[in-house]
Each structure stands twice: as C-alpha cells, then as structure tokens.
A and B are shown apart, each in its own frame.
Chain A
Amino acid sequence: MRQVRAFFLRTAELFRKEKREQEFAAELESNLQLHIDENLRRGMNLEEARRVALVKLGGTEQTKEIYRDRRGHPMLEILWQDTRYALRMLRKNPGFTVVVILMLTLGIGANTAIFSVVNAAIFRPFPFVHPERLVAVYQKTSQFEESSVSYPDILDWQKDNRSFAALSAWRRDTFNLTGSGEAEQYQGLQTSANFMPLLGVQPILGRYFSETENQLGAAPVVLISERVWRNRFGAAQSILGKNLTLNGKDYAVIGVVPATFHWYRDSDVFYPIGQWDSEIFRTRGLSQGTQVIALMKPGVTIAQADADMVAVTANLANTYPDALKGTSAVVVPLREDAVGDIRPLLLVLLGAVGFVLLIACANVANLLLARSAARARELTGGVLGILLAIWGTQAALQLLPTTLPGIVRLDLDMRVLLFALGASLLTGLLFGLAPAWKTVRPNLQETLKEGGRGMEGGRHRAQGIFIVSEIALAMILLVGAGLMLRSLGHLWNVKLGFDPRNVTSFEVSLPPSSKPDAAAIREKNNQLLERLQALPGIEAVSVVFGSLPMSGDSEIPFWVEGQPKPTSQNDMSWSLMYGVSPGYFRAMKIPLLAGRTVSAQDSHTAPLITVIDEEFARKHFPGQDPVGKRLNLMILGPAEIVGVVGHVNHWGLDSDDTAKIRSQLYLAFAQFPDQATTMGANGADFVVRASVPSAAMMQAVRKEISSIDNRQIVNRVSTMEDIVTASQAQRRFSMLLLNGFAAIALLLATVGIYGVVSYLVNQRIHEVGIRMAMGARPRDILRIILGSGGKMALAGIVIGLCASFALTRLMARLLFGVSATDPLTFGGVALLLFGIALAACYLPARRAMRVDPMVALRYE
C-alpha cells in the first residue's frame, strides 16, 4: 500500500518539476547555512566555516541528481528523453522508420480489424429487435441437414407452429429494371409481409407491404433500398406511388428501406414473395432457395421450438407422404446460422492477433527493462502506427472476403481500436513497471539476505521470461501459418475435372415480357448461342442452367428405371443437375469417357436424354455399362443415358470429396419442360471458352448482345479461374492473415532477443574482459554469448512446440491434406526459429568477441 501511495506521488511529481527543483535547491541552501552557522559558533572564521560546510555538503549537482531520481519516475523521464532521441534518429534513418511503422501499423491495424470482425460476428448483438429470439428454420431431408423449404410448406408452418411469434419466408432473386434511363439489374429480396416487422426494421419512407398484398393476384408493390432511392431517384419524397418496371411488369413503390438494413447481401428491391406465380415455386417439397426466419415467443427455448417444428413437419409428412415422407425440420439460432461456419476461423485469427499483441507487449516491457534507446524507436513507431492504423484498418477490412457473415456490416469499430491500443499500452506498462519497480526499490532485508545480487538477477530473469514467451508465441504462430501454407499447397494439387483457364461465365438478362413464354425463351437462347459462337476468338459457348461448378448448385431427385419407384421424393436418389447446350463439354474441357455428349439433335421434340459423370456411374451402375440405361427424373420424366463424362470438382477443392451429393447429370436445356424453362425468364447464364483475352472477348459479347436487343444486359461476368480462386477465398484470406501475423511475430521476437542479448553483452563486458585477459579465445566468448541466447531460444521453442501441439487441433477444420500435428511443419518451424534466434544473438556476440580486455576492465 505504501508503495502504491509513493508511486502516485512520484507520478504526480512529473507535473511540478520546476517548483520542486527550486524547493530542493532552497533546502540544500538552508542546510549549508545551518552548517556554516554552527561552524561559526565553534569559532571558525567565515571562510573556513564556508569551506568545511561546502566540502561536507559534497557535489550539490550530484545530490540533486540522486534526489531527482527518487522524486519522480526516472525511467519515465528517460523514456521521454529516449523517445525524443528516437524521433531524431527516426528522421535520420527513414528506411528503418518505414519498416518499424509498417510493422506496428500491421500489428495494431490487424488487431483492430480482427477484433472488429469478431466483435460484430460473435459478441455484439445483431441490430434487430430481440436478436436472441431470432432463429433460422430449415427442412431436414435425407440429403441435406439444412435445406431450404418449399413455399406451401412454409404456409403450413406459419399456421401450425406454437413456438413462434412470427415466421417469415425470404428468397433472393434478381430483377431487371427497364423504363426510363439505362437498364439495370437489381438484387431483389422476396419476403413474407411480416419479414421486416419481425426483425423490427422500419422503412424510412412509406410502409412495408401488408398480408393482403402478399397474395397471388394482388396489385404489384415494391419497396426500394435507400441506396437506390438516393442514387436513382435523388431521394425524392414523391417516389411513393411511382411505378417501377421490373422484369417488364409495373410495380408501385410503397416504401424505402434504410441503408443500415443488411441481410447477408445488399438488396435493392423488396417484393412480396406471395405474389410469385411460378408453378414450381408453389409445388410442395420443391424448395426454390426459399428460406425461413422466425421470432420465437418470449420464454421459448431453442429445444422447445425445435421439438415443436419436428412435430409440425411429422404431421405434414403424414398428410403429404409423396413429397414430404422422411423429412423433418431443424431450428438454428440466427447467430449460429450466420456465423457458424466462420467461427473457428475467427477464433483462430483472434488467438493469433492476441499472440501478436502479447509479443508486442513483451517487447515494450523489455524496452522498459533495458532502457535501450535503440528500442525506444519501436515505441515511437507505435505512436505513429496508431495514426496509420486508422487508415490501415479500413484497408484491411476491404480485404475481408465476402464469405464472412453478412447480417451485420463490418465497419472499423473505433471503440475496439481504442481498446486494443489502451490494452496494449497498459499491458506493456504494467509488465514493464512491475519488475522494474522491484529493481528500483530494493527491500532492505531482502537485499541483505540475497547478498546484493538480487537486483540485477531479478531483472535478467524477467527479461529471460519475456524472451522465452515471445519465442514460444512466435513458434505457435509460425506453426499455424506453416500448416495453412501446406494446406494450400495440397489444395493447388487437387484435380478440378475441368479446365478453368480462358473460360468466362456471365449472365444475360432477357428482354422483359410480362408473360414468360417457354418457346420464346428457348428461341432467344438459341439465337444468343448462335450469335456468340460466330464471334471471332470464341471456341465454345454454352448456356448453363441449374448448377455451375463452385458457384451454384441445383439437385434433382430420380430413380433408376427397372427399380421400384421410391415411396417419397425424400427416399429417391439425388444428383447434381446441369442444364447445358452442346458446347458445354468443349467449353469446360470435360472429358467424354463413354457414349456421346449433348448434341444439337437433342431438341425440345426429341426423346429426353441425359449424360452422367463417372461418379454417378460408379454409384448407380457398378460394374455395368450405363449407356442405354434409363432414369426416371422428377418433373422431367424418363431419360436415356447416352454418355458418361469425367467427374467435375463441384463443391470446392477441399469439400468435393466429402460432399453428400457427388453424382452429376447433364440435361439438354433445350429439352427442359415449359414450367422449368420459364424459371429462366429473367435471364440465362453462359460459359464461353475463348482464345482471346476475357476482357476483349467480353467487349465483343456485350456489343453483339445489345445489337440483338438493347434491353438485354450482361451481368455477373467472372472468369472460371476467379470462381475457383474465390471458392478458396476464406482459406487464402486466413492464410494471408496468419502468415502476416507470424511474420510480425517473428520480427518482434527477433528484435526482442537481439535487444536483450545486446543488453546482456553490455552488462557482461567486464566479465568478458576478464575472461579474455585470462586467455579465453574469441571463439569461447562467442560460444558463451550464443549459448545464453540459444538457451532462451530453445526454452521458448520447446514451450511453443508443446503449446502448438495443443492449440493447432483447434484449427483442424481450416486445414486440408495435412494433420494438425504435422511433424514436418513442426520440425521445420522449430529449426527456422532457432536459426533466426541464433542469428539475432550473433551480432552482439561478435561485438563481445572484439572487446579489448583493457577497455573492458576499466569499464563501469
């Protein structure tokens, strides 16, 4: 307690230096006078009295110096001096300055970015009313743990459940806006009427649509996003009641949704899902990507809601066995739903930045311990880094892949930034002051007992502990980074099954028509294919409907002809379905293994054919020739297998092997029945293989398409290579981050061990001198110094290895093709770290080797 009191008093001294300085001078002066007075009393003459008193008082400047040290915090003052010195040095060494600032900017920026994301994703409540009561409800089928739900089922769920205050359907779609001005594609969100009220989101203008407007045949209404309202309509209040032409149909605008509303992705228009008249959408058991969000009644638990929904779906399965037998439902908390997949990644990254922060703190602590001016530069860099971190973080957030949870916007959280800064500075100070304090204020009894060596010993021990911890932490980060690197290496070697190079995919919106006509759509697509195929440089082109590798999937239930028809859709086999035109296999370079692929003869009137992949053949026709066999496909009917092609990596480099549905079948888009064809009324996807660069080719494609009909727009252009890369975005991103953190950690730890060994060498110069004088060779000195550094490094590496062994298991889900305890990575990293640590010790050791014994002995 006394020490705490003294600490605060000394801190207070920082602010009244001048006054105290004068006061002490006065005290010394009075001391001198008192002494002179007494000497005079003893009979000395004035001159003698003064002389004796001055001698006794000693060097007043020296006394003042010692007094000053005791009065305030000499270390803080020295730190300040060092900082000013460091600033001067930084101006002189711009290269070094840039490195230091970059390092700290990265450190603080990364910390803030990750903390912001983790905070938003895991800790901060979602920006809705009652976020803790929000859940996602999925259908559970034999094929999917969490499947989207058909609209008729959702209507029954709304009626039958007892657990929810509200249950709402939502689905994404794209809309083509035409009419005044340039045609544009809009991201649409189709929802039930209770969607926004359930989330507690209020339109900033107008109102959300009502239950009566959410019915088939109701007058078409739409809400627009604040962004569209401002950009396209100049934020005019008069927008309400105006008409918007979407997909060739007029919708009355009834409201504007605030820009703060963010539902996984930004949406431009909001439209009543109940007005959609698609026949397939209204078929029970056929989910068209329609999802369910619900608000639990107060007091209802997840388990209760889940049990309720299981009962509701069991009833429905009894009523509609054909479509629903064997299906059930599952209730997932919204946060789990939005963040679940990403949680391990976020926690690993959070741990990693935390380690970086700890290492930085250890360095600050060592800086305070060693009072090394050279390393005061780091601290100064830190101050400058803070400023740059604010911009740096913004940049870092731009790098975050879109796969991160999207219910909340990810912004730089200033509170988090301040917290990270405060925490790191405070930790550094506390870590630094605690041991430093001990050395400055030795307890009389303790010091006597320890024979006067406790002070230095304690300081060295503290430094040793910091260095060992730094190396251990760096070790863990390096192992994590190494494992990610090896995973990525394995992924690059995964067979794709198609050749993404020179392939571009894009979407063409079709001219709007209020009544989609299947024959017209087929005709349009054929025309587009012919015109595009004729363009120079285009080798192959195909329409794509249903699945596209690594970007979208569509599945179809079927049973093999000759086998009994399964009693329900849920009991059927499922396969990925690709609706293509003849050019597809050439465009994607998918090898033909048997029979033939889709041809131009497979027209709407010709008998239905299908092409299957080798995986399909292996699973459903083991040991047989599938060509000529027939499948019964849901909705489409019986189809003859005419060929077998190679398997395509559909679900992503890391997950295709373990995906539940791996069978793939191809259908001729031209043979799709009318009701399926009209689903593609808004637009169709195409893939093109070209011998000319994608950008130039796309320019020609756009020109050609608008020459056919200038109301048609080309959207969502991306090369197949980009799609493959994007499928690994999350992993690449985490690898980049982990590698970055590991690099920072390695740098900090290297600087740390270098600084401490330098300091130790300076402390032991005397000893080195004696040893040299006694005949030690420079090599022996080198061995001693490297030995002391090496011991710390080894201790750190061993601790780091043990900790990594325990911790890397947590990131097993992020790895691919490499075990979480991969011995090669562990060993390699340990060797690397040891080498770097020794190199960091070598510089000061070399200095010690060159010590002149005579100089060293006189030192101190």
Chain B
Amino acid sequence: MGEKKDVWQGTLALMALKTLEALGPLHGYGIARRIEQTSGDLLAVNYGTLYPALLKLEQEGYIASEWGQSDNNRKAKYYKLTRAGRKQLAKEARDWAETTEILARFLGTGKETA
C-alpha cells in the first residue's frame, strides 16, 4: 500500500461527483472503493480526506444525503447527486480536461525541443 498514490485534494471531489453520476446513490465506503477500483488500485482514498470533501459538497448543495439500508442490511448514509451537482460536475470536468490538455501540451512541447 505504501507505493499507492494519495488522491490530490480537490480532484477527489470531482471523482466523487463522477462516481455518484455513474453509480447513483452510494455510501462513503462505496465511493472510496469505486475510486480506488477505477484507478486500477493506483490510488488510495483517505477517509480523512473523503468525508470532509463529501461534507463540503453537501454544504454547497451539489450532493444530498440520507440514511438507508445497504444490500446486506447494514445501515449506511447514502449520498446522491443533486441537479446543481450534475451541472457542477460537467463544469469541473470541462475545466479539468482543459487543464490536463494544457499540461499535456506543455509537457509534450518540452520533450520535442529537448
């Protein structure tokens, strides 16, 4: 586990939003697992980062939460995307794509001139 990368703060919120969009209502554990799996277990989600990020998203109204039953009858708090959350996800994803494109171009150019 030591060689796994921690998730960048900030990008975690984006990943959580994306996860909720893809999978529908989900509890914190499920979100964490899904992010780790999607990354091919390259990332390790720290709950000390995840829960505050979820709380922040909820305070901003991008997600909502309520208590429910899990598949194997465990009580769990489920998060789901709100309409504002969907919009925000689209916007953040767009921004992120832009940023990565800029970085990719930047790093790519660096190689060519080298």
Which A residues fall within an 8 A CB radius of B? 2-3, 5-6, 9-10, 24, 26-28, 30-31, 33-35, 37-38, 56-59, 62-63, 66-67, 69-71, 444-445, 447-448
Contacts and interface: CB of A to CB of B under 8 A. Distances in A.
Interface centre among A34, A38, A69, A445, by most chain B C-beta atoms within 10 angstroms, is A34
Contacts of A28: 47, 51
Contacts of B11: 444
B74 A67 contact: no
Given A30-B27, A34-B30, A445-B99, A63 B47 contact: yes
- For chain B, the bracket of interface size reads 20 to 34
Interface string B65-77: 0000010101111
Nearest to A23: B77
B56 A2 contact: no
A6 B48 contact: no
Contacts, number: 76
Contact of A67 (B10, B51, B60): B51
Nearest to B36: A56
Contacts of A9: 59
A30 B75 contact: yes
A58 B62 CA distance: 27
A30 B60 contact: no
A6 B56 contact: yes
Contacts of A448: 10, 99
Nearest to B73: A37
Nearest to B53: A70
B72 A6 contact: no
A54 to B, nearest CB: 11
Contacts of B24: none
B48 A62 contact: yes
B28 interface: yes
A30 B52 contact: no
A6 B59 contact: yes
Contact of B60 (A2, A58, A444): A2
A30 B46 contact: no
Interface string B22-60: 000001111001000000000000111101100110011
Given A28-B51, A38-B33, 9 more contacts: A2-B61, A6-B59, A9-B59, A30-B29, A31-B27, A34-B74, A70-B52, A444-B10, A444-B13
Q: Which 5 A-B pairs have the closest CB atoms?
A: A444-B10, A70-B52, A6-B59, A63-B48, A34-B29
A5 B46 contact: no
Nearest to A8: B59
A653 to B, nearest CB: 66
- The main secondary structure of chain B at its interface with chain A is helix
B12 to A, nearest CB: 10
A28 B75 CA distance: 11
Contacts of A37: 72, 74
B27 A34 contact: yes
B101 interface: no
A26 B77 CA distance: 9
Contacts of B61: 2, 5
A30 B77 contact: yes
Interface class of chain A by DSSP: helix
Contacts of A70: 52, 55-56
Nearest to A65: B48
B52 A66 contact: yes
15 contacts: A24-B51, A27-B28, A27-B76, A30-B27, A30-B29, A31-B28, A31-B47, A33-B74, A34-B70, A37-B72, A63-B48, A66-B51, A67-B48, A444-B13, A445-B95
B2 to A, nearest CB: 12
A30 B55 contact: no
A58 B44 CA distance: 12
Contacts of B60: 2-3, 5-6
Nearest to A62: B48
Interface in B70-89: 70, 72, 74-77, 84
Contacts of B75: 26, 30
Contacts of A38: 33
A31 B77 CA distance: 9
Contacts of B51: 24, 27-28, 63, 66-67
B58 to A, nearest CB: 8
Contacts of A35: 29
A432 B76 CA distance: 39
A25 to B, nearest CB: 11
A723 B14 CA distance: 79
B57 to A, nearest CB: 10
Contacts of B72: 37
Contacts of A31: 27-29, 47, 76
A15 to B, nearest CB: 15
B101 to A, nearest CB: 14
Contacts of A24: 51
Nearest to A3: B60
Residue of A3, A9, A27 with most chain B CB atoms under a 10 A cut-off? A27
A33 B77 CA distance: 12
B59 A30 contact: no
Contacts of A26: 75, 77
A206 B10 CA distance: 80
A28 to B, nearest CB: 7
A226 B109 CA distance: 94
Nearest to A10: B59
